[in-house]
Structure 1
């Protein structure tokens, strides 16, 4: 799965992240890890 530009932008704005690409990948990995723990 790949996050859409809209989702990346929303997350970046929410966390006030400047580097959208890297932060998107980081956040996506974090979310994936949390889902795997369920």
Structure 2
């Protein structure tokens, strides 16, 4: 349970970094869908 939460937070953090790197003008529907289904 805790490992799953940790992995999820780490994945979300990585995705936020990617968004900040490329800018919010680039929309990632696949990543967004993966995030929603992973919750």
Structure with greater helix share of residues: 2
Q: TM-score, normalised by structure 2?
A: 0.48
Larger radius of gyration: 2
Bigger relative contact order (CA 8 A; separation at least 6): 2
Q: TM-score, normalised by structure 1?
A: 0.49
